[in-house]
Amino acid sequence: VTVHDYDILLEILIINRTPNTLANLTVELSTMGDMKIVERPQSHTIGPLDQMTIRASIKVSSTETGHIFGTIVYEDASTHEKGYINLNDIHMDIMDYIRPATCTDEVFRSMWAEFEWENKVAISTSIGDLVEFLDHIVTSTNMSCLTPHDRNEKGSFLAANLYAKSVFGEDALVNVSVEKKEDNDGKLAGYIRIRSKTQGIALSLGDRITSVQRGTQPNKKQ
């Protein structure tokens, strides 16, 4: 799978391990998300123990997590029996389309008030340091942090605004509000709020944040 901004190119290697010729072999594709198949694979005939590469082109029109499903359909040339092989679905990551960006505080606040889609993610992480957690979220979401903060300051609360644009020009806004609670064994608590003009970005970015914050392993003590 090759991803280049708006275009996804699929290259599927088909190997016939049978002693029979397979006729009318094609890959039937379908998508979930804002993706359109612009070049469907043609049907082919593949000889015994032969192989070939089948290509398909898919156009992406907005930033959201998507899935591509496929089934190989063929006919045995000698028995005329049809065969079907379901392929594992291909998951397209929103991070392929997100780029760090900057804007002024005034523009950020204006967009925050304007955008109607919001996704709120509760913080649940094994990271115990406020700045380390913020850095992890910034890196994992491919966003820019707009809020300057003192790395040497050891406070119990941190708030920051993050911003990014998609390759389609869509804006993604994130507000991190995290607190170190001493009555919670020193664990971090709070919320990460995502706002966007489109539902796809808000939901997909929320899924990404939920995934990366829970997947962080605690630091081992030496």
SS3 call for 210 = helix
Q: What is the pLDDT of residues 35-45, one digit of tens each?
A: 788 888 889 99
The answer, yes or no, to whether residue 215 has pLDDT greater than 70, is: no
Whose CA is closest to 112, among 61, 177, 178, 162? 162
Q: Is the dihedral of CA 102, 105, 106, 111 positive or negative?
A: positive
The residues facing 191 across adjacent strands are 122, 177
Q: Which one, of 50, 63, 124, 121, lies nearest residue 94 by Cα? A: 63
Which is nearest to 35 in space by CA: 87, 117, 85, 94? 94
**3-class DSSP assignment, residue 65:** coil
**pLDDT score for 187:** 86
Residues 145, 205, 193, 187, Cα dihedral to 10°: -80
Beta pairing class for 66-76 and 44-46: unpaired
Q: Which amino acid is at 205?
A: L
How far apart are alpha carbons 119 and 146 in whole angstroms? 20
On the question of pLDDT at 203 being above 70, the answer is yes
Contacts of 203 (CB under 8 A, 6+ apart): 64, 65, 119
Tokens (6 digits) for 167: 């390759």
Token pair 């920051």: residue? 160
Q: Is the pLDDT of residue 216 over 60?
A: no
Residue 65 has pLDDT above 80, yes or no: no
Across 5-9, 96-100, 210-214, least confident range: 5-9
pLDDT in tens, 125-169: 888 888 999 999 999 999 999 998 877 777 889 999 999 998 888
Q: Is the pTM above the cut of 0.85? A: no
